[in-house]
Amino acid sequence: MSMTDPIADMLTRVRNASAARHSQVEIPSSRMKLEIARILVEQGYVTKYELKPGEHGDVIVIDLKYGKNRERVISGIKRVSKPGRRIYARKDTLPKVLGGLGTAVISTSRGLVTSAEAGKLGVGGEVICFIW
């Protein structure tokens, strides 16, 4: 087994499934990935997600969302903080994605939140990924 970043793996699976116009994507489950899936639903990037028992532990099944002419809702998704290089943002320097059109997911002491929520809570944290 290669030492890869499971969060980057999740984001890559979602990005690839969206590019290939798949209706859903399966991802091995973890608490962090469930939180990212929750934010994707809250922000309107995907329709829903559910936890299902898989062959080797639980899997998260994410239903992808498309526009009326099958145009992608997720045009880009990028891992920011990686295991080799952690990226943190203070509460006064929270990142904006595409001038506020995208979403930055931040791991704070209050759990995983968007950068807008982190600003409201007045907390900073590790910048997990950008979605636009």
Residue-wise pLDDT for 67-123, tens only, equals 888 888 998 999 999 999 999 999 998 998 888 788 999 999 999 999 999 999 999
Residues with Cβ within 8 Å of 50's Cβ and at least 6 positions away in sequence, in order, are 60, 61
Contact at 8 Å (CB) between 43 and 131?
A: yes
pLDDT computed for residue 101 by the predictor: 85
Express each pLDDT in 4-45 by its tens digit. 789 999 999 999 999 999 999 999 999 999 999 999 999 999
Domains and CATH numbers, the chain: 6-64 (3.30.1370.30), 77-131 (3.30.1490.10)
pLDDT computed for residue 96 by the predictor: 87
